[in-house]
């Protein structure tokens, strides 16, 4: 995501990552990977639950975590594109997201 960050920003899209990691853990990850987009901490999986993305007890210590998912939300707060892959290892490619993002520009 960091590699495509410039392209996302050019398209007016702000990437934001959410997980149950603490701000400290996310900060360490962001530093080691050079991420310059926001990483948010959903410690108790409240937001994850509200978005129905809970992967129960799948964390390293048996805690509830988020299943991988990507949402493109427009500036009015409306969902425009969702990617819930069937397979944990298959993720959305930046090009796919940019295509959707560019179609948002024309609305």
Partner 1 sequence: MNIKRLNWPLWTGFLLTLAAFLSYFFIFVEFPFTRDFPWANLVLFVLAGVLLFMGLRRGFRADRPHPTRSKIVSSIFSVLSLAVFAMFIFVIFIGGRWLPASKGAPQVGQRVPEFTLPDTSGKQMSLNELLTSPINGNAPKGVLLVFYRGYW
Interface with partner 1 (CB under 8 A): 1, 8-9, 11-21, 23, 25-27, 29-30, 33, 38-42, 46-48, 50-56, 58-60, 65-82, 84-91, 93, 97, 101, 104-105
65 vs 104: CA distance, rounded Å: 30
Please report how close the Cβ of residue 103 comes to partner 1 at its closest, in angstroms.
10
93 vs 101: CA distance, rounded Å: 13
Please report how close the Cβ of residue 87 comes to partner 1 at its closest, in angstroms.
4
Per DSSP, the three-state class of 3 is: coil
* 56 burial via Cβ count (<10 Å: 0-12, 13-18, 19+): exposed
Please report how close the Cβ of residue 80 comes to partner 1 at its closest, in angstroms.
6
């Amino acid at each position: 995501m960091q590699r495509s960050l410039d392209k996302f920003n050019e398209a007016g899209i702000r990437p934001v990552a959410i997980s149950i990691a603490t701000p400290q853990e996310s900060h360490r990850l962001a530093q080691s990977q050079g991420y310059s987009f926001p990483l948010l901490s959903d410690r108790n999986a409240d937001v994850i639950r509200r978005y129905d993305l809970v992967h129960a007890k799948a964390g390293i210590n048996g805690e509830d975590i988020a299943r991988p998912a990507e949402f493109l939300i427009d500036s009015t707060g409306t969902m425009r594109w969702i990617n819930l892959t069937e397979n944990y290892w298959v993720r959305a490619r930046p090009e796919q997201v940019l295509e959707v993002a560019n179609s948002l520009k024309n609305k």
